């Protein structure tokens, strides 16, 4: 006799990082809320040091509703959600936080809207009648959230009252169609999906009350904020420019400031001659660029330990070649075409920037 099989209609994807204390309670609450529905919970854990994956797998060993993907060598909320959804075979998929801040009782209401084919995606929102964001920790976080919401509404044409929400449900076929165009960086997976799939995606909303976190702590940080700005920019340019390149360019721009400041300091501080001062300034700027890129631009592939040293040497070598490319292109343009100094100069700088970015991505912070 074949084993009993009940089809899964809804996969609930639960990204986790250090959420051990919330796993069991969440599974219990899902079971209550989704009574009568064929559901599964897919935990996607980024190798949490507190043993979240082990806890989820211990439950999965006896409860067929539960699965767990343990990702190694990677970090990121959006990327974890993408992989979780991709592992589902159910017609509907939901994403929600695993820290009990998202009210699971909204799930059956969201599912009903999809089943009735009223929409392709239902976003749970704190900012309509019946919803509330009271669980956000502190005024800074509340202000940031409403500022980001306003910025998004101004810049992108998305039909969302709460674009920062991390709680939603959609038809899996709609997700599969755009999966390879989504960004694994940052927290803003809902916004990315809607901005990428719109306007053909029919969006509905469901209010919910955002609760307080009882166990563990929030992983929101400056980096997450920066990644949000990068996503906004990428969507504004119609995905022409990838967010990583923007950060690389910004770091480069900042590097110019660092260079000039170091040059001034070196001259004032008594460098033997200009040649020396310029060399010191170049080295200082390259060093600061390297570490800023390591912390911000390539944070998800951040070099640690001994590879920092090798990465730094490689970065300096490639950037020196980049400088040669820059000078080569600029001089060639200057002498061949109309000699407009700033056009030639800017073209050289842009070429150098492209070169440095390509080499850094390929060889310094390469994906393992
Ligand atoms: N796999 C994985 N990897 N999971 C992560 C990571 C990561 O790098 N970072 C966070 N998570 C998980 C957490 O364990 C939690 O289950 C969920 O993602 C939300 O993370 P929190 O750190 O609790 O975020 P928050 O409460 O500050 O922010 C939430 O609410 C915001 C609303 O203001 C998120 O849902 C945001 O997307 C949302 O904007
Ligand atoms: Mn949270």
Residues 323 and 230 in one domain: no
Q: Which of 236, 257, 284 corresponds to the end of one domain? A: 236
pLDDT at 337 over 70: no
Q: Which ligand is nearest to the CA of 163?
A: 1
Q: Please indicate, yes or no, if residue 290 is contained in any of the structural domains.
A: yes
Provide the residues around ligand 2 (an ion) whose CB is within 5 A.
97, 99, 101
Residues 51 and 188 in one domain: yes
Q: Please indicate, yes or no, if residue 2 is contained in any of the structural domains.
A: no
Residues with CB under 6 A from ligand 1: 15-17, 19, 44-46, 75-77, 80, 97-99, 101, 136, 145, 164, 166, 187, 218-220
Q: Could you read off the pLDDT of 289-322 as tens digits, one per residue?
A: 999 999 989 988 899 999 999 999 999 999 999 8
pLDDT at 280 over 70: yes
Residues 42 and 130 in one domain: yes
Q: Please indicate, yes or no, if residue 31 is contained in any of the structural domains.
A: yes
Q: Please indicate, yes or no, if residue 34 is contained in any of the structural domains.
A: yes
More confident residue, 67 or 127: 67
Q: Please tell me the pTM assigned to this model.
A: 0.80
Lowest-confidence pick of 176-185, 303-312, 331-340: 331-340
Q: Please indicate, yes or no, if residue 1 is contained in any of the structural domains.
A: no
Q: Please indicate, yes or no, if residue 219 is contained in any of the structural domains.
A: yes
HEC string of 83-133 equals: HHHHCCCCCEEEECCCCCCCCHHHHHHHHHHHHCCCCCEEEEECCCCCCEC
pLDDT at 192 over 90: yes
Q: Which of 201, 236, 271 corresponds to the end of one domain? A: 236
How many separate domains does the chain show?
A: 2
Given this model, what pLDDT does residue 183 score? 85
Q: State both tokens at 127.
A: 């900012």
- Short-list 105, 58, 96, 56, CA closest to 77: 96
pLDDT at 344 over 90: no
Residue 19: domain span: 10-236
We report the CATH number of the domain holding residue 189 as: 3.90.550.10
Question: Which of 166, 186, 302 to probe ligand 1 with, by most ligand atoms within 8 A of CB?
Answer: 166
Given this model, what pLDDT does residue 101 score? 95
Q: Please indicate, yes or no, if residue 91 is contained in any of the structural domains.
A: yes
Residues 196 and 293 in one domain: no
Q: Which of 236, 270, 300 corresponds to the end of one domain? A: 236
Given this model, what pLDDT does residue 3 score? 63
Residues 91 and 229 in one domain: yes
Q: Could you read off the pLDDT of 4-54 as tens digits, one per residue?
A: 678 999 999 999 999 999 999 999 999 999 999 999 999 999 999 999 999
Given this model, what pLDDT does residue 110 score? 98
């Amino acid at each position: 006799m074949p084993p009993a099989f009940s089809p899964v209609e809804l996969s609930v994807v639960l990204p986790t990082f250090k959420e051990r204390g919330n796993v069991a309670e969440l599974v219990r609450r899902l079971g209550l809320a989704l009574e009568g529905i064929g559901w599964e919970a897919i935990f996607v854990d980024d190798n949490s040091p507190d043993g979240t994956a082990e806890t989820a797998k211990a439950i999965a060993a006896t409860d067929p509703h539960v699965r767990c993907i343990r990702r190694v060598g990677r970090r990121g909320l959006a990327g974890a959600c993408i992989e979780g959804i991709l592992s589902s075979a159910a017609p509907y998929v939901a994403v929600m936080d695993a820290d009990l801040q998202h009210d699971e009782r909204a799930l059956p209401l969201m599912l009903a809207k999809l089943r009735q084919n009223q929409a392709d995606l239902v976003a749970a929102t704190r900012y309509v009648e019946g919803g509330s964001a009271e669980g956000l920790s502190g005024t800074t976080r509340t202000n940031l959230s409403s500022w980001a919401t306003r910025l998004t509404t101004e810049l992108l044409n998305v039909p969302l009252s709460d674009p920062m929400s991390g709680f939603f449900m959609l038809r899996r076929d709609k997700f599969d169609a755009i999966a390879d165009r989504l960004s694994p960086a940052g927290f803003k997976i809902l916004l990315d999906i809607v901005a990428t799939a719109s306007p053909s995606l029919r969006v509905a909303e469901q209010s919910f009350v955002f609760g307080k976190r009882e166990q563990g702590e929030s992983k929101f940080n400056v980096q997450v904020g920066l990644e949000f700005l990068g996503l906004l920019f990428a969507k504004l340019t119609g995905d022409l420019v990838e967010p990583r390149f923007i950060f690389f360019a910004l770091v480069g721009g900042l590097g110019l400031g660092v260079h000039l400041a170091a040059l001034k300091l070196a001259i004032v501080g008594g460098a033997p001659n200009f040649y020396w001062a310029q060399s010191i300034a170049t080295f200082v700027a390259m060093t600061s660029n390297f570490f800023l890129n390591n912390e911000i631009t390539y944070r998800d592939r951040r070099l640690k330990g001994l590879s920092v040293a090798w990465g730094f040497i490689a970065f300096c070598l490639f950037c020196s070649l980049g400088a040669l490319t820059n000078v080569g292109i600029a001089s060639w343009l200057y002498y061949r075409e109309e000699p407009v100094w700033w056009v030639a100069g800017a073209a050289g700088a842009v070429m150098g920037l492209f070169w440095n970015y390509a080499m850094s991505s390929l060889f310094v912070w390469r994906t393992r």
